Structure 1
């Protein structure tokens, strides 16, 4: 899928991508066949919720209810119905995107910090 206009790819895996939109100060998450916008704070909350999914419990619970996890992010029209493998792929995507956000912040600090002599 080509990068939508005005968006810069922040991180990509085989299963999705996260784009940064400086114009609207938000992130677009492409995953599971759709793309959804998130304000910075909502993106970080989404990451926390995905990280909080107990993968080990999903693996060890034999009930059918544990086969999927339904995630309904704040201020989003999107609902994610995630299988165990989807959860792992989503965690990888969001962890990578967060790492790139941290790296970008560090680079900005280094490049634009006032020189001290």
Structure 2
């Protein structure tokens, strides 16, 4: 993974196909997938996940035209271009879904801890 040496990076979620890491220093997420690393601002990461989730896998599999063999995705505010086949899209969906789940879980845990701390102080 190629990341700024000064960055403070923590793993959010990882599979054998890729991973998502959070940089608290730059307030961004790093996606490692297909042997490349792409940086996303928080909102851009969520938009990218939404775009990947909208890909119609069933249509890609059922249509015999060559244009349905792959999907080209250019994330907002990124120089990266993803050219993905169905198998890679499914792998990426798994990585992004796991990362989003862990981000939401972490947020819920922090809220519970905050509420617990407020209750103890009251």
TM-score (norm 1): 0.94
* CA-to-aligned-CA distance 1:51-99 (integer Å, 9 cap, x gap): 0000000000001110000000000010000000000000010000000
Does the residue aligned with 1:28 lie in a helix, a strand or coil?
strand
Match of 1:78 in 2: 80
- Runs of 4+ more than 2 Å apart: 1-5
- The answer to whether residue 116 in structure 2 is matched with residue 115 in structure 1 is no
Unaligned runs of 5+ residues in structure 1 are none
Is the counterpart of residue 14 in structure 1 residue 33 in structure 2?
no
TM-score normalised per structure 2: 0.90
What RMSD, in angstroms, separates the aligned Cα atoms of the two structures? 1.7
Cα deviation, residue 2, structure 1: 9.6
What is the count of residue pairs matched by the alignment? 117
Unmatched tracts of structure 2, length 5 or more: none
Q: Over alpha carbons, which structure has the higher Rg? A: 2
CA–CA distance in 1 between the matches of 2:111 and 2:95?
25
